Chain A
Amino acid sequence: MTKWYETLTGSLEQKRQYKQAKARMDGLPAPYAAAANAVQRYLMYSGDVTDGDTTVQMIVDLADLWERAALDGTPVRAIVGDDPVEFTETFARAYDAKRWIDKERARLNKAIDDAEREEQK
């Protein structure tokens, strides 16, 4: 249930989960903390996800991945591969979330639909 002030401040539960996941990543041994935070930073810049639930889920999943990697001693490169950007963007695409670009996508689709109808007249 959403409390009235959460409509102003965003969900407190989400904030708590986000902070917890972030703390897990900061607490990783070197060099995993640096790698995890770099991936997370890129995710926040590039991922134009607009809903908080998805953002939190992404960060929690990332924390799981890096914690596991640190425990298993998996090399950083073996986690992200040759192309860390590609990895991070693929990871973000796994989540079916609302994005800023959705509005423009809908607009483009509608414009082409309209043009097609014009063509058929």
Chain B
Amino acid sequence: MGKQLTEMLKGTLEGIVLAILSVRSAYGYEITAWLREQGFSDIAEGTVYALLVRIEQKGFVDVEKVPSEKGPPRKVYALNAQGREQLAEFWSTWSFLAQRLEQLHDTETSQQGDNR
């Protein structure tokens, strides 16, 4: 399941991160830590970092530099209007995909039942 999960996560991680940021603004490490808590134990901090760079480049988030007790300031990401639009699109795409897959799964299981 590990490898498949990684592959599937790749396509949905942007939506997941946008959804997290729609609840509250956060910095990279907080997002990684939260994902790990949710069971995505293998997720690399760099993966989330690269994704945050991407959504910043695409203009989905506003970035604020917050001074930290040590070292360089932390970049705190907050979802903006464009990001909210993107998130809404993600959820409708997700619903479509989940629905179709569920249908396929149902057909598959009921046919297996008939064959028995």
A residues apposed to B, CB below 8 Å:
61, 64-65, 67-69, 71-72, 74, 77-82, 87, 90-91, 93-96
**In the bound complex, how far is the Cα of B28 from the Cα of A95, in angstroms?**
18
**Residues of the A chain whose Cβ atoms lie less than 8 Å from the Cβ of B72:** 64, 67-68
Selected contact of A95 from candidates B29, B44, B57, CB within 8 Å: B57
Would you call B47 and A78 a contact (CB within 8 A)?
A: no
9 intermolecular pairs with C-beta atoms under 8 Å apart: A68-B29, A68-B71, A74-B45, A77-B44, A87-B47, A93-B50, A94-B54, A96-B57, A96-B58
Would you call A94 and B51 a contact (CB within 8 A)?
A: yes
Would you call A80 and B53 a contact (CB within 8 A)?
A: no
Would you call B29 and A82 a contact (CB within 8 A)?
A: no
| B: number of interface residues (CB 8 Å) | 20
**In the bound complex, how far is the Cα of B35 from the Cα of A78, in angstroms?**
13
**In the bound complex, how far is the Cα of B54 from the Cα of A96, in angstroms?**
9
Q: CB-nearest residue of chain A relative to B45?
A: A79
Would you call B47 and A90 a contact (CB within 8 A)?
A: yes
Would you call B53 and A91 a contact (CB within 8 A)?
A: yes
**Residues of the A chain whose Cβ atoms lie less than 8 Å from the Cβ of B116:** none
Asked if B49 CB lies within 8 Å of chain A CBs, one says yes
Identify the 8 closest CB pairs spanning chains A and B, nearest first.
Answer: A81-B44, A94-B54, A71-B71, A91-B50, A94-B53, A79-B46, A87-B46, A90-B50
Would you call B46 and A65 a contact (CB within 8 A)?
A: yes
**In the bound complex, how far is the Cα of B49 from the Cα of A72, in angstroms?**
15
Q: CB-nearest residue of chain A relative to B49?
A: A65
Q: CB-nearest residue of chain B relative to A39?
A: B46
CB distance from A93 to the nearest CB of B (A): 7
Asked if B70 CB lies within 8 Å of chain A CBs, one says yes
Asked if B74 CB lies within 8 Å of chain A CBs, one says yes
